[in-house]
Amino acid sequence: MTDRSERSARSAPRDGGRDPALSAIMGERRGLINLAYRLLGSLTDAEDIVQETYARWYTLSPRQQEAIDSPGAWLNKVAGRLCLNVLSSARVRRETYVGEWIPEPLPEPAEWTGGATADPADRVTLDESVNMAFLVVLDAMTPAERVAFILHDVFRYPFAEVAEIVGRTPAACRQLASSARRRIRAAEVPAAAASAQAGIVRDFKRAWEAGDIDALIGLLDPGATAIADGGGLVSTALHPIEGAERIVRALLRLSGRLHGLTILERTVNGMPGLVVQQDGATVTVAAFQVENERVKRIWAVRNPRKLRSWKADPQP
């Protein structure tokens, strides 16, 4: 990881026609989006956090802004505190969420809505810290654990800075990050290489398209789990589906209920996954966890509010 001040300097546009100070401030945007998405698991919420962070910066007087030694550090601190507040209130909001909640899936850069015209500052860098399985484990942590772990272990903040954001002592933040690491180790499984997962996902796609029940069951771990997120806005399973045969029946029911489906192989949060489209519009994004050459978990996001980053394919 590079030093955040160095990243800020490199990311600031070298545009002679712009105010250098403004360029430096706006150059932090992508870093803030990346931080907020990992903390919240929602691009929509992350964008709201970044907007609020900049709003707070611009409410400062010029004298107050000039007194801040590192505007980038100030912005990151404010964004981190705002994310902590959102995480604390999210637990209450989740109690009224219809069905299961899954982190918002992200496409690879070339597949981002709007293609090359989309603002690159709004794109999240895809690495192991946005893998869907990793985000799901993060979501089970307490807000303070999640913030301390992401800030320190992923973004390399020293615990003294983490403490300022979390509102606890550096020693307490060290304990929070350690607890988060134990949770991650307990949930870890041998990760399949992207190439191996791509082959299994491809076989899964072909068997699903063919309605080949035996092939689908063979590709699933007998104790596999499928979780769907419709947010109450579309029809989907409200509870996790356990077992290979039950998952296959659910998949075939979905195909029978939604006509004219196209299943596409796509990168989902940096790993091979599937995108289901109807009349060119994305209706489902599925992420997979592969273990011992079989699908162990499927996360299927159907909530349309979480699919806005996925562009529709043009129809002939």
* Domain ranges for the chain: 4-187, 194-306
Q: List the structure tokens of 173.
A: 């933040």
- Say whether domain 194-306 belongs to CATH 3.80.30.20: no
Task: Please tell me the distance from the alpha carbon of residue 207 to that of residue 205, in angstroms, as a whole number.
Answer: 6
Task: Please tell me the distance from the alpha carbon of residue 118 to that of residue 64, in angstroms, as a whole number.
Answer: 33
At 129-180, the pLDDT tens digits run 889 999 999 999 999 999 999 999 999 999 999 999 999 999 999 999 999 9
At 83-112, the pLDDT tens digits run 999 999 887 678 789 999 999 999 987 776
Q: List the structure tokens of 64.
A: 């107050």
Per-residue pLDDT of the chain (316 residues; tens, 9 = 90+): 334 433 333 333 344 445 666 777 888 999 999 999 999 999 999 999 999 999 999 999 999 999 999 999 999 999 999 999 999 988 767 878 999 999 999 998 777 655 443 555 566 887 788 899 999 999 999 999 999 999 999 999 999 999 999 999 999 999 999 999 999 998 877 767 788 899 999 999 999 999 999 999 999 999 999 999 999 999 899 999 999 999 999 998 888 777 788 999 999 999 999 999 998 899 999 999 999 999 999 999 999 999 998 976 644 4
Cα separations in angstroms, 171 against 81, 138, 159, 168, 185: 18, 21, 8, 8, 21
The 8 Å CB, 24+ separation contacts for 185-190 are 187/133, 187/137, 189/133, 189/289, 189/291, 189/296, 190/291, 190/292
Stated pTM of the model: 0.85
Task: Please tell me the distance from the alpha carbon of residue 140 to that of residue 279, in angstroms, as a whole number.
Answer: 36
